[in-house]
Amino acid sequence: MDSSITVAVKPSGMNHVGDELSDFVNDASEVYGFDLQHVIAVGYSNGANIGASMLLLRPETLSSAILFRATIPLVPKVLPDLSNKLIFMSSGLHDPIVSRQDADNLFG
């Protein structure tokens, strides 16, 4: 049986979406009995921004992330320690929307 869960979120603000999706994942882990140490965010563009916001706001929800074309979705008051997270980020050198500096600033 496939145990993967796919969630689509319509963003209304990265703080709200990051917290809302983190709440959902935490609740789902209790209902379906999966360990949060096995939750990986995978996202492209705005999906990557949502994954990044979860890491910045509620890092305990994710074990790692694969983020394609993420930019800085928000700046938390206190930056979390993400040294124990596995994070892969990929951005284009000549991307007209997400500059290299934005991508570097996200987790640089």
Which domain, by its residues, includes 60?
14-107
Into how many domains does the chain fold? Answer: 1
pLDDT tens digits, residue range 10-55?
444 556 788 899 999 999 999 999 999 999 999 999 999 999 999 9
Residue 64 lies in a domain: yes
Q: Which residues contact 37 (CB under 8 A, 6 or more apart)?
A: 63
CATH number at residue 79: 3.40.50.1820
Per the CB < 8 A criterion, the answer to whether 22 and 61 are in contact is yes
Residue 68 lies in a domain: yes
CB hemisphere CA count around 100 (13 angstroms):
3
pLDDT tens digits, residue range 51-73?
999 999 999 999 999 999 998 88
Is residue 5 over pLDDT 70? no
In 3D space, the residue among 4, 84, 95, 83 whose CA is nearest the CA of residue 48 turns out to be 95
Per the CB < 8 A criterion, the answer to whether 9 and 17 are in contact is yes
pLDDT tens digits, residue range 79-103?
999 999 999 999 888 888 887 787 7
Residue 3 lies in a domain: no
